[in-house]
Chain A
Amino acid sequence: MTRLPEPAPRKLGLVIDLDTCVGCHACAVACKEWNDGGAFGPLPDADPYGAEPRGVWFNRVHSYAIEPAPATDASGMTVHFPRSCLHCETPDCVTVCPTGASYKRAEDGIVLVDEDKCIGCQLCAWACPYGAREINVQKGTMQKCTLCVDRIYNETLDETDRKPACVLACPTRARHFGDLGDPDSAVSTLVAERDGYAPMPEFGYQPVNRYLPPRPRRDGRRDADRSAVPKDEVLDPEQLPGVLRWLDRVLSR
């Protein structure tokens, strides 16, 4: 059924800290590794060692250079942005599906694809502004992040391992998993403390996942200014003796 379920109190999702993410892609690799062998796999690579190694990834990490506006005294920074399904509360990727293959679970809000019903029309991928869905060329069906639903409820695993693979793999603990519908949960507290946000809210899909914005960086330019030679000192290398002119040239490289 592609009609959305009634909003449930439980909203499982991820909180991703853009301040501590170092862009190592460990989450993306761990996701690929788990889901390739998991209940929703395999995640095929169309041409793994060829010229066009196109494959399905549920998680892709972008890196951005941010140049502050010239008037401000903020410094530039690099931000790594892991992009995956935000398990929205009212997403169009579910309602556009003509077959009922794309659905949102009523009990915990996880958005999934029923591979046995999917006809591979790709309309859900077109409807997602976050690029969460990718087609499995071999099977002809759509695939997406499952929030490791085959892991988080897996009673054969240790209690501490019942988390999405990306969360467990993150070396800087930049990824957190929990119930964002519960205002007292650890993830909700984190979101409240750090002003967690969801990108592009104007689509009205009400994402569950949250990103924690990078904290303001120490002003690198001011540090640089302090250590540098004062600007009013003038040095004309032409006036120096030969050895010192050579030394100045070498050190200026």
Chain B
Amino acid sequence: MRPTFSIICFTVLSGVGYGAWFLMGVGLAIGPICGAPQATAHPVITLRTCHIPFFDHASLLLALLLVVAGLLASLGHLGKPSRAWRALSQWRSSWLSREGVAALLTFVPASLLVTHAAAEAWLIATATADHVAPRSWNGLAWSEWIRPLLGAWLAAGSLGTVFCTANIYASLKTIRAWHERHVVPGYLLLAAYGGTLLVPAAATLDGMLHPVDHAILGCAALVLAAAGAWLKLRYWRAIDAQPATTAGHATGLEHLGDVRSMEAPHTEESYLTHEMGFVLARRHARKLRRIALWTAFAFPAALTGVGVIAQIAGAVSPAWHLLSWAALASGAAGLFVERWLFFAEARHTVMAYYAR
């Protein structure tokens, strides 16, 4: 299949964004984690510091940018982008329609949380000595049930949207490399993996993420990198074992002998051969797969591993920031290669009619 840049951008960018939202949603649903009470100068008052796990304003905003950029890129693939709203109507049968609905539903908690974060940032920015804005959820009078509700909604919506995206491709029986059992888990896993790279990197912008969360997300990234590489290797082995459809099978004439195309319908390229007859990726598959494995999984894992060790050793420095951004950059580049291959390597059944 011809790899379309707009679709690759859409699945990678929004995938990473939804992965980050999923992690933050889970954190919000779990709720604040508080340290032990600490004595203050006052004899009676003790102080406890609390934080929402994995939650961070810069990550929330960056993920929003990625999700919006990805969804806008997906419109670029349409012949009639101005009619995109119509795609919300057929959710009963179409995964593409379901994806649109899930994306819109996920914007509800996301936009509320972003608005809340902006309000909080504004309160802190305008705080004076007389009026100190507390940097907590309770400070803005969010009730204790709204926060976990929004968190659960955000996590479920993000998961659901990526699930629908994966199923757009996995539901197409005509493209065997997509109609394959590793595809849906792969999309979900790589989105979560992208999230574990995005949150620690973006959090260096506002320093809101707790050091323990940095370490937890780092370890999660290591586990997901290993799982992602393992899943992709299994996927590639599975699609390499798929036999190509022959012209004899496509025409239903194989009982007569060896069927081979003698004359294509047209001397020049048609829409079908242009859209579905992409060969380049399969020719260089081995090399490209190796590039994807190194840049998407190995480099980010190594960088994250160094960062986690530095974190545990207590050596927190700006170098940590650079490491996490480098891990995100490499991971995102690798995911682009991986997604390009996912589209470009796949064979469409209709090309069997052209098999020589």
Contact = CB atoms under 8 A, between A and B. Distances in A.
A binds B: yes
Interface of A: 1-3, 18, 23, 25, 28, 52-54, 56-57, 60-69, 72, 74, 76-79, 81, 83, 92, 95-101, 117-123, 125-131, 134-137, 139-142, 197-200, 203, 211, 213-214
A53 B171 contact: no
Contact of B264 (A62, A65, A67, A214): A62
A99 B256 contact: no
B79 A95 contact: no
B247 A97 contact: no
Contacts of B275: 122, 125, 135
A86 B100 CA distance: 30
B282 interface: no
Interface stretch (B53-61, B91-99, B188-196, B290-298): B91-99
Contacts of B262: 63-65, 78
Contacts of B48: none
A131 B94 contact: no
Contacts of A98: 86-90, 94, 96-97, 100
Contact of B173 (A18, A61, A203, A211): A203
Interface residues of B, number: 56
B229 interface: no
Contacts of B175: 126
Contacts of A198: 252
Given A119-B80, A119-B84, A135-B271, 14 more contacts: A1-B90, A2-B90, A23-B263, A99-B86, A117-B86, A118-B79, A119-B83, A121-B77, A129-B173, A129-B250, A130-B350, A135-B275, A137-B79, A200-B249
A77 B259 CA distance: 10
Given A63-B262, A96-B94, A52 B247 contact: no
Interface string B260-283: 111111101111101110000000
Contacts of B171: 92, 96
B279 to A, nearest CB: 17
Nearest to A1: B90
B175 to A, nearest CB: 7
B259 to A, nearest CB: 5
A99 B270 contact: no
Contacts of A122: 77, 79, 275
Q: Which 8 A-B pairs have the closest CB atoms?
A: A120-B79, A140-B79, A60-B265, A199-B252, A68-B257, A131-B350, A63-B263, A98-B87
